[in-house]
Every structure is written in structure tokens, then in C-alpha cells.
Amino acid sequence: MAKNYYLINNGRIRRDNNTLTIESADGQKRPIPVEDVDTLYFYGEVDLNTRLLNFLSQKKIVAHVFNYYGFYSGSYYPREYLNSGYLLVRQVRHYEDPAQRLFLAQELVRGAAHSLVRNLAYYSKRKEGGAQEERDPEGEIGGDAPPASNTPPDAVTEAIIDASASLPSFEPIPAEMEPDPFERLVEIGGAQEPLTELRDVVARLAKLVSEQKEVNMVRGIEGKMRERYYEAWTHILSGSWEFNLRVRRPPDNEVNALISFGNSHLYTVCLSEIYRTQLTPTISYLHEPGIRRFSLALDLSEIFKPLIVDRAIFRLLNTNQMKPEHFDRAMNGCYLTDSGKKVFLAALEARLSTTIHHRRLGRHVTYRHLIRLECYKLIRHLTEVETYKAFRAWW
């Protein structure tokens, strides 16, 4: 299976015959078989040339570029090879038709709400049970975590899957801990509700999505759910990690730095998966299509942020794998250091590589592949094969 490679430090990447070679600043070289590469992530200052870009395009490899602070800057998006004029027309028609766009926006938010409430339901159970050890509630259900690679780490680049071996093992969430939280709604008010009450507030807001008549109103409900969801983090995070308010640019503390970095990374993961399908990434339904962004990737990432990014953050902070020295507060804001990026990217890659048994396909799939399957479901809806139903974790 092809891997994702993250270039953290400065160096150079070039084509060497029919493979890739990574050169570190001190002259060390590491060859990478090009058939082993799915996506490249440039977090350091990396030199390259058009000969490499032509090679990446030939091999259909997407490369994402991030700035010094870890924020997304842009992508090298090879020429699309799964073009479909028919699907493009269908995408545009569903965007231009208010009723069709509203349906998709509502379903995307309902899927995101399910993930939000699922997180809060799990951690409220942990609080009630007095659990002390941070465990991953989504672990393998009939699957195994991908084995760590034997390839030695390199100063310039490393497949983050190698680092996943040092992370705690995933454990399944008991079925009895997963009642459908949307069936239990209560009227609650106040700014400092306990975790269980905040869960019910988010669930109650989710029920309002179907009543909205405009996409802007759906986005407003989604924003309110996120606000209350982030309020619950103070009850989830242990130790001295401070998080009272979601602050984006620049992030003002360690938790906000992790959220911004993780969300930016997941956006590029969704973009890479869209590239492997016939969808056009600039036409979206929940987010307004605009310039300088692939807004369909934003739509899809809303569903998976709680399951991938947030779970990785909770586990890293509650198990003390992330430490204060992994953050830099010297500038105006708070950002991850290179060592902090490696730890967090390892956790994110471990989450994306986790497998579950797909009850409909009858085989094991990774979280990353679930994102691509979401693209396929959207295609079936746009082509009137099957009505779209956003992803909801079933295990």
C-alpha cells in the first residue's frame, strides 16, 4: 500500500531516474520508491524543480505545501485523470438548485453532528465511570492497526506510519456505551453545563438542522454546535492544558495550535481523496465556493474532524505525549515546533491508517479510505443512483 511522506526539515527532493531521492541539508540522501508514495507533505523548506513536478504528475502524486507555522499554503494538483463532464454538470446543477443544495448541506451537518455527539457521549461515559487511562474509543473492530515500518527515520523525511508504533494501542468501545444520543434530548441553558448536558445541547441543536430553509441558516446551526462542543473540551482534557475559546489566526494556546494544525492537515487529506475520484473539488454545498480554496474538501472534513483530529488531540494531551516543549510561544501566538509536528503527524497518520470492518463492503478499510467512500456516496447521489446519507460511525 502506498504511504504518505512528510518532509519536516529543510532539504531537497528530486527525481533520480525512475524514483525519488530526498537530500537533507547536510548532504545525506534517502531514496524512496515512487510506487510507494501516495501523497507528499512539505512542512519544511524543500527545493524542487519542474522535472520533479512532471514526474509527480506522471505518477499522479499530489503534493501539499505548508508554511513555517504549519498552515496550508497550496497544493501541486496534477492534471485530473478521472474527468467526467457529466458529473461536473450534475455537481453544478445540485449547487444551483436551492432545494438540492440545501438537502446536501443539511445531511453534511447531520453527519458532522453525529460525530460531535459521539465524542461527547463517549467522554461523558468515561467521566461517569471514573476511567483514569485515556483510551481510543474507536479502535479496531475486527481489524488490526497497520504494522510499523522497518525503514529507519531520516533527518529530512519520514513516513509517519513508522512513528505510530510508539503510540498507545487502539481499543474498541463497548457496544453498551453507544446508545444513540440523538434519541435523548433535554432543554438546558447556562454557560457552564457539565459534559453530559453539553452533549444533549449539541444533540438538540442537531435536531434543528432539518427545519432550516437556507444554507446560511444551516451553517449557523453548525457553528453553534461547534461552539458548545468546544465548551465541553474543558471537561475532556486533563492536566493543565488551557482551552476556553476557539481562537484561529493566530492560535493563542497549545490546544488551539493543535486544532488549527490538525484541521489544516485533514483538509489536504480530503483533497487528496477527492483527486482519486471524478468529483470537482471547487464545487461545494455546505461551504460557499470561493477563490483560492477547494471548498468540497472543507465540506467533507466537517464530518471527520471529530473522529480523526479531535480524538488524536485528546489522546496526545491526556496521555502526556504532547509536552510544553513541543510548542513555540516566542512569536505572536502559539505554534508547533518541528518535534511537535512530528508527534502530532504520527498520531494523525495512525488515526488515518486505523482499520475497521465495513459492514456494507464486508472488508476492512482505513479511516482514510472512509473519506474516499464518502466521495463515492456523493457521486451516487449526484447521478441519482442512491440518496446521499452522510457517514455515521456504526461501531
Residue 38 located in a structural domain = no
What residues make up the domain containing 155?
84-382
Residue 17 lies in a domain: no
Among the residue ranges 34-43, 95-104, 252-261, 325-334, the one predicted with the least confidence is 325-334
Given this model, what pLDDT does residue 80 score?
78
Angle (nearest 5°) at CA 365 between 364 and 369 = 170
Angstrom distance (rounded) from CA 368 to CA 146:
13
- Determine the average pLDDT of the residues in 60-77: 89
CB-based contact 284:101 (threshold 8 Å): no
Confidence at residue 44, expressed as pLDDT on a 0 to 100 scale: 87
Q: Is the pLDDT of residue 338 over 70?
A: yes
Would residue 51 count as lying in a domain? no
Q: Residue 344 in contact with residue 314, Cβ under 8 Å?
A: no
Q: Exposure pattern of 15-37 as b/e (b: 16+ CB <10 Å)?
A: bbeeebebbbeeeeebebebeeb
Q: Which amino acid is at 66?
A: F
CA distance 388 to 386: 6
Establish if 394 belongs to a structural domain.
Answer: no
Give the largest CA-CA distance in the chain. Answer: 65
How many CB atoms neighbour CB 268 within 10 A? 23
Q: Where are the alpha helices (DSSP H) in 97-252?
A: 98-129, 195-207, 215-231, 233-236
For 175-219, write each residue's pLDDT tens digit. Answer: 333 344 444 443 444 444 578 888 889 999 999 999 999 999 999
Tell me what pLDDT residue 129 has. 61
* Cβ-contact 365, 273 below 8 angstroms: no
Mean pLDDT of 35-58: 91
Task: Compute CA distances 35 → 18, 55, 69, whole Å.
Answer: 10, 12, 30
Whether 337 is covered by a domain: the verdict is: yes
Q: How far apart are CA 297 and CA 72, in angstroms?
A: 13
Does 35 fall in a domain? no
Per-residue confidence band for 128, with pLDDT thresholds at 50, 70 and 90: low
Secondary element (H or E) of residue 22: strand 19-24
What phi and psi, each to the nearest 5 degrees, are found at residue 88?
-60, -45
Q: Is residue 205 part of a domain?
A: yes
Q: Which three cell numbers stand for residue 133?
A: 487511562
Q: If you compute the radius of gyration of the chain from its CA atoms, what whole number of angstroms results? A: 21
Q: What is the pLDDT of residue 146?
A: 34
Q: What mean pLDDT is predicted for residues 167-175?
A: 34
119 contacts 310 by C-beta, under 8 angstroms: yes
Q: What is the predicted pLDDT for the residue at 140?
A: 34
C-alpha cell at 205: 441543536
Has residue 34 been placed in a domain? no
CATH number at residue 320: 1.20.120.920
Q: Is 202 exposed, middle or buried (0-12, 13-18, 19+ CB in 10 A)?
A: buried
**Amino acid making up residue 147:** P
Specify burial of residue 250 (Cβ count, 10 A radius: 0-12, 13-18, 19+): middle
The per-residue pLDDT for 276 is 92
Contact call for residues 380 and 394 (beta carbons, < 8 A): no
Q: What is the mean pLDDT of residues 239-262?
A: 87
- Confidence band, pLDDT 50/70/90 cuts, at residue 70: confident
The C-alpha cell at 159 is: 513516513
| SS3 of residue 49 by DSSP | coil
Q: Once rounded to an integer, what is the mean pLDDT over residues 155-184?
A: 34
Residue 326 reports pLDDT greater than 60: yes
Digit-coded pLDDT (tens) for 12-46: 999 988 889 999 888 888 888 888 899 999 998 99
State the average pLDDT over residues 249-273: 92
What is the total count of domains within the chain?
Answer: 1
pLDDT in tens, 86-107: 999 999 999 999 999 999 999 9
Angular region, 228: left φ>0, alpha ψ -120 to 50, beta rest: alpha
Is residue 141 over pLDDT 60?
no
Quote the percentage of the chain above a pLDDT of 90: 53
Residue 243 has what pLDDT?
Answer: 86
| 11-16/19-24 β-pairing | antiparallel
